[in-house]
Chain A
Amino acid sequence: MAEIQLTDLTKSYGPTEVLHHVEGDIKDGEFIVIVGPSGCGKSTLLRMVAGLESVTSGEIRIGDRRVNELEPSARDIAMVFQNYALYPHMSVRENMAYGLKIRKLPKGEINRRVEEAADILEIHQYLDRKPRQLSGGQRQRVAMGRAIVRDPQVFLFDEPLSNLDAKLRVQMRLEIRKLQQRLGVTSIYVTHDQVEAMTLGDRLMVLNGGYVEQFGTPIELYDRPASVFVAGFIGSPAMNLLPAEAHSDGIVLPTGVKLAGAQTQSGSVLLGVRPEHLVPDQDGPIAIDVDMVEQLGANSLLHGTLSGTDHAMVASIPGHVATANGTQQRFSAAPEVLHLFSPETQKRLDA
């Protein structure tokens, strides 16, 4: 078990820099999720920690060792790949034992560890099968078993659930979380799925175009997104964003309506408010022309535009609502759920 420190990490492929000055301290036993859209550099970052990609500049420390120059096998890590990467010609047992065999552990010790991992993952009945005789979910378990038997300081997961169907994904997600809590091994998990990220991670590192947008707990990211990108990425449906004018006594919407409340900012801003924070209110200042209603059972999503403008808006209202398409609905929003961002830097304004 170990902390991981990433200091000013940069990665370039030839002249193109794909990761820029990544910083992050990961505590012992923490479950960190790296999340971001496809191509933002998540896998690259993970693979640098694993030692499968070289470090262009900066430093990676695992425990109290600098590992930049160490081979993957010397870093005391285990990795679970998206396509499982099980050795097709070896049985499940041989797959799990292979790394230990290379490390020349005694036979008895290898068997003990394989049995123990098989117990934890309930894969005893498959131990003598080949990977091709297993279903996707079972292969995933074996891949985790292979990681567990190594008894590493760090688990690395690269989108391990994205080849599974939706239901199995939810189930495996819970299992991974439980397993990690039980073993207490520091883990880094890569995904592009924000729901997976929110439910799994102690802390989330949001990457965008090779930059760390924000690194914090799921609730921090939800309550105080550090940038427009994080605001739009975390939470579903995504946060509404509107251009607005901030004044000392309130915020003026594009419709000319003022949302009262003292402001420290002034000038043009991007105003963000989450769909679930819009409260239906007969006299509310925010008017939306509804053009579609999605009934989700527990709540209803009203899609439309801010009245008199063409800014798309979504409101999420608990329970069922009988709103006809084409009607106007009014909402209000509490001052503390309003987020202000700079239109230039896209960063959060009220620090």
Chain B
Amino acid sequence: MIENRPFTSFLSHLILILGVIAIALPIWITFVAATHNELRMNQTPLPLWPGTYLWENLQKTLFGKGLSGSETAPVWMMLLNSLAMAMMISVGKIAISLLSAFAIVYFKFPFRMTCFWMIFITLMLPVEVRILPTFEVVANLGLLNSYWGLSIPLIASATATFMFRQVFLTVPDELLESARIDGAGPMRFFWDILLPLSRTNIAALFVILFIFGWNQYLWPLLITTDTSMTTIVMSIKQMLEAAEQSPQWNIIMTTALLAMVPPIFVVISMQKLFVQGLTETDK
């Protein structure tokens, strides 16, 4: 659609600008709230322009004991917990699905397709569905309140296995044969050829999985009782509950702002590869 009439052009810009405002306004308000002090945030009308307390709020939030009155871990620790969980989930998922896709595509073994379909079926069993038995297993293994407990039950991934299978299927057989003639064994082929060829897909998947891991709420809530293991997404919810009594919007909003930073950083740093991974077809 290449039209160039002033009115349609105006209209489409209008719609785009409204869209940007709708998305950006809440983030702006969060940012503004993070730059005022507690007192100002409890007066109406709410401020629309930044104040001067950003630095102070950041310090209070990152290193303080959370909301006054409720004893929680400092936010830097929560960020670290979330980061560890998200990294373990995304790296774990990618590593395991790469290997299972490799096995399914390149090795002949009995019940190969059965294995594939069993992996596939787990698509229907996200952690929310199997939460009680999974909790039981994790508790019996003594993994409550640990990074392993936070991440392992979320690591198995049918989607990623399936995606890597599709990627591997597009790699021409002759590359494998060339590698065999060159003397590369299976693992060498995997490292030297398959991995570099899947680079952009890995990056794209990493972005998606990192955000998936970062945003986990229900599972961490269930298996962490120790405040030092709280993740940041959980804590925002807890702060909101606490806010019923004494709203400290400046702290809550600063926390929310901080929670956004790592995902944004991951998206921006992977953006180029991410787009290539989603659009590139040429092997």
State in angstroms the CA–CA spacing of A278 and B141 once bound together.
Answer: 91
Is the CB–CB distance between B175 and A87 below 8 Å? Answer: yes
Contact with B along A52-81 (1 / 0, CB 8 A): 100000000000000000011100011101
Interface contact tally, CB-CB below 8 A: 56
With an 8 A cutoff between CB atoms, is B188 at the interface? Answer: yes
Q: Is A83's beta carbon under 8 Å from chain B?
A: yes
A residues less than 8 Å from B126 (CB atoms): none
- The residues of B with any CB-CB pair to A shorter than 8 Å are 172, 174-175, 177-184, 188, 192-193, 196-197, 199, 282-283
Assuming A88-B197, A132-B282, is B177 touching A73 (CB within 8 A)? no
The reply to whether A83 and B174 form a contact with Cβ atoms under 8 Å apart is: yes
| Complex: chain B residue closest to A47, CB-CB | B177
Range of interface residues on A (Cβ < 8 Å): 20 to 34
Residues in A126-182 with C-beta less than 8 Å from chain B: 132
Q: Is the CB of B174 within 8 A of A81?
A: yes
A107 partner residues in chain B, CB cutoff 8 A:
none
Question: With a CB–CB cut-off of 8 A, which chain A residues contact B179?
Answer: 87
A85 with B182: in contact, given A98-B192, A132-B282 (CB under 8 Å)? no
27 pairs, CB–CB < 8 Å, chain A vs chain B? A51-B180, A52-B177, A71-B183, A72-B177, A72-B180, A72-B181, A73-B180, A73-B181, A79-B178, A83-B172, A85-B172, A85-B175, A85-B177, A87-B178, A87-B179, A87-B192, A87-B193, A88-B197, A89-B196, A89-B197, A98-B182, A98-B184, A99-B181, A99-B182, A99-B183, A102-B184, A103-B183
- Chain B: minimal CB distance from A47 (Å): 8
CA distance A71 to B174 in the complex (A): 16
Contacts of A98 in B (CB 8 A): 182, 184, 192
Minimum CB–CB distance from A124 to chain B (whole Å) comes to: 22
Give me the interface of A with B, judged by CB distance under 8 Å.
Answer: 50-52, 71-73, 77-79, 81, 83, 85-89, 98-99, 102-103, 132
| Cα A99 to Cα B199 with chains together (Å) | 22
In the bound complex, CA of A254 to CA of B59 (Å): 107
Interface centre among B172, B177, B182, B183 (most CB of A within 10 A): B182
With both chains docked as a complex, state the minimum distance between the C-beta of B191 and any C-beta of chain A, in angstroms.
12
Helix, strand, loop or mixed for chain B's interface? helix
Which residues from B are CB-within-8-Å of A73? Answer: 180-184
User: Which residues of A are found within 8 Å of B282, using beta-carbon distances?
Assistant: 132
Q: How far is the CA of A87 from the CA of B283 in the complex (A)?
A: 9
**Interface pair B177/A79, CB less than 8 Å apart:** yes
Name the distance in Å between B69's Cβ and chain A's nearest Cβ: 57
Residues of A close to B283: CB separation below 8 A: 88
Most central of B174, B183, B199 by chain A CB within 10 Å = B183
Set of chain A residues within 8 Å of B181, measured between Cβ atoms: 50-52, 72-73, 77-79, 99
Minimum-distance CB pairs A-B, first 4: A73-B183, A85-B174, A99-B182, A89-B196
B112–chain A nearest beta-carbon distance, Å: 17
* Given A73-B184, A89-B197, 4 more pairs with CB closer than 8 A: A50-B177, A51-B181, A87-B193, A102-B182
Point out the residues of chain B lying under 8 angstroms from A102, CB to CB: 182-184, 188
Residue of A nearest to B193 (CB): A87
| Bound CA span A73–B181, Å | 4
Bound-state CA distance A81–B154 (Å) is 43
In whole angstroms, what is the CA distance A52 to B175 when docked?
12
CA distance A83 to B183 in the complex (A): 20
In the complex, the chain B residue whose C-beta lies closest to that of A74 is B183
List B contacts of A52 (CB < 8 A). Answer: 177, 180-181
Instruction: Tell me which residues across on chain B come within 8 A of A132, comparing CB atoms.
Output: 282
Query: Using Cβ atoms and an 8 Å threshold, which residues of chain A touch B182?
Result: 73, 98-99, 102
What are the residues of chain A within 8 A of B172 when measuring CB–CB? 83, 85
Q: Assess A81 versus B197: contact at CB under 8 Å? Given A98-B192, A102-B183, A103-B183.
A: no
Give Cα distance in the complex from A132 to B280, angstroms.
13
What is the bound-complex CA distance between A332 and B197, given in angstroms?
A: 64
Residues of chain A within 8 A of B188, CB atoms compared = 102
Interfacial chain A residues near B183, Cβ < 8 Å: 71, 73, 99, 102-103
How close is B45's CB to chain A, nearest CB, in angstroms? 57
